[in-house]
Chain A
Amino acid sequence: MSGPAPGRAASANRGPMHPTGPGALLVIVPAYNEEGAIAAVVESVHTHVPGTPVLVIDDCSQDSTIDAARLAGAEVLALPHHLGLGGCVQAGYKLAYELGFDFVIRVDGDGQHDARDILRILDRLRTSGCEMVIGSRFAGENGSGTGTVRSLGIRFFRMVLRPILGKPVHDPTSGFVGVNRRALDLFSRSFPLEYPEIEALVVLQRKRFRFEEVPCRMRPRMTGRSSITAMKSMYYIVHVLLGVFVNVLRFEGRRRQQPVEEKKEDRWTTS
């Protein structure tokens, strides 16, 4: 594990994290047992997006992820028990929304996402006015870097999502995602629990929010292994399909009873 620059760590931990003004950005990093990669991820964000606070949301890791993140200069939101990726990311969204941040970009804690692309996502969020921007490994020229099984899964979900979203999405499983405050408001109330990326797109569509994709670089993870093993792939597909289907049903229902309780919290997705 590479150590942080001591000066940066000391200054970054000096006080509570607050937005510095209009259009403030927060980078969130959901992490579970990522002690080997988290410091490099945080340092990379600090290097390429200086002055931007980094919030590591620790999903009750059993290793020293929290210490590594703090030493690297990140703020840490430590969950009291393991919630899974969706609950972990949503906790970050909730805190960011409460603190008043206008933009939040999620970077995975395993080092797969290149921090140099954060500004590209932020720029698209600001200029396009859309609610979500996905860093896509397939939107540009560098469309590779995934295994065969995942590639097949991505192609399958592209086909499923195309008619639902009304536009193509190249990389629906990407976790390199930026959102603005409107999406932050929505996701802090309603966010899928497991494998949230694909279902989040449908949640977004239910509100008629827009998303765009920007080409991004993806690297192999620095340490550890993906939580989605071959055995879990079938469960993943069934689970996500069910989630998409349920969201579509909710979308239709909402359209019929449009103005009723628009702000009511969605139980299943907080859940």
Chain B
Amino acid sequence: MDHLLNVTTGLSVLLLAIVLLSVRRAHIRPEYSVTWLIAAAAMLLLSRVRPLLDLLRRLSGLPDTPLTLFLMGAGVFLIMVFRFSVILSHLRDDNIALAQRVAILEYHVKSQRQP
């Protein structure tokens, strides 16, 4: 169990480092990095504060702690994927509307230039 928690801690720290580095290099915009940072911090907290993990296990009624940690991690990342799907959908909507507007404006401009 301790090995599992240590591996989770290591992965969480690695994720935090990658996200912060990506933000610094402008590979991820800060507003989209927040979700990743929260997820990594949540996993770090769960892996280091054992009483919190035990409390969650009791509350959820799950049989053992590793399963609780796994399900919590999966839950956190599922929420993240859903959030990104929402963001992507909005971006796609905006992108389509912009592309259509650009095409229409370009059409109007070319029409004006025609003799």
Assess whether B87 is interfacial by the CB under 8 Å rule: no
How many Å lie between the Cα of A17 and that of B111 in the bound state? Answer: 8
Contact A270 B99 (CB under 8 A): no
Closest to A17 in B: B111
Assess whether B60 is interfacial by the CB under 8 Å rule: no
B108 neighbours in A (Cβ, 8 Å):
16
**Segment among A25-33, A86-94, A226-234, A237-245 that sits at the interface with chain B:** A86-94
Contact A270 B93 (CB under 8 A): yes
Given the known inter-chain contacts A16-B111, A271-B92, please indicate yes or no for A95 contacting B99, CB distance below 8 A: no
Given the known inter-chain contacts A17-B111, A267-B93, please indicate yes or no for A90 contacting B99, CB distance below 8 A: no
Given the known inter-chain contacts A16-B112, A77-B107, please indicate yes or no for A83 contacting B100, CB distance below 8 A: yes
Contact A80 B96 (CB under 8 A): no
How many residues from B make CB contacts under 8 Å with A? 18
Minimum Cβ distance to chain B for residue A263 (Å): 16
How many Å lie between the Cα of A80 and that of B102 in the bound state? Answer: 7
Contact A79 B99 (CB under 8 A): yes
User: Which of A79, A267, A268 touches B100 (beta carbons < 8 Å)?
Assistant: A79
Minimum Cβ distance to chain B for residue A192 (Å): 12
Minimum Cβ distance to chain A for residue B92 (Å): 6
Contact B89 A271 (CB under 8 A): yes
Closest to B93 in A: A271
Assess whether A98 is interfacial by the CB under 8 Å rule: yes
Minimum Cβ distance to chain B for residue A58 (Å): 9
Per the 8 Å Cβ criterion, residues 70-118 of A in contact with B are 75-81, 83, 87, 90-91, 94-95, 98
Assess whether A14 is interfacial by the CB under 8 Å rule: yes
Assess whether B103 is interfacial by the CB under 8 Å rule: yes
Contact A94 B93 (CB under 8 A): no
How many Å lie between the Cα of A17 and that of B99 in the bound state? Answer: 21
Assess whether B52 is interfacial by the CB under 8 Å rule: no
Assess whether A193 is interfacial by the CB under 8 Å rule: yes
B99 neighbours in A (Cβ, 8 Å):
79-81, 83, 87, 91
How many Å lie between the Cα of A270 and that of B96 in the bound state? Answer: 7
Closest to A267 in B: B93
Assess whether B29 is interfacial by the CB under 8 Å rule: no
Contact B104 A193 (CB under 8 A): no
A75 neighbours in B (Cβ, 8 Å):
107
A16 neighbours in B (Cβ, 8 Å):
108, 111-112, 114
How many Å lie between the Cα of A78 and that of B92 in the bound state? Answer: 19
Kindly name the residue among B99, B100, B112, B114 whose own CB sees the greatest number of chain A CB atoms within 10 A.
Answer: B100
Kindly name the residue among B92, B96, B97, B104 whose own CB sees the greatest number of chain A CB atoms within 10 A.
Answer: B96
A79 neighbours in B (Cβ, 8 Å):
99-100, 103
Minimum Cβ distance to chain A for residue B94 (Å): 9
Known A77-B103, A78-B107; 6 more pairs at CB < 8 Å: A77-B107, A79-B99, A83-B96, A87-B100, A94-B100, A268-B89
- By a beta-carbon cutoff of 8 Å, the part of chain A in contact with chain B is 13-17, 75-81, 83, 87, 90-91, 94-95, 98, 193, 267-268, 270-271
- List 21 A–B pairs whose Cβ atoms lie within 8 Å, in order of A's numbering: A15-B115, A16-B114, A17-B111, A77-B103, A77-B107, A78-B106, A79-B99, A79-B103, A80-B102, A80-B106, A83-B100, A87-B99, A90-B100, A91-B99, A91-B100, A95-B107, A267-B93, A268-B93, A270-B97, A271-B89, A271-B93
User: Which 4 A-B pairs give the minimum distances between C-beta atoms?
Assistant: A16-B111, A271-B93, A91-B100, A87-B96
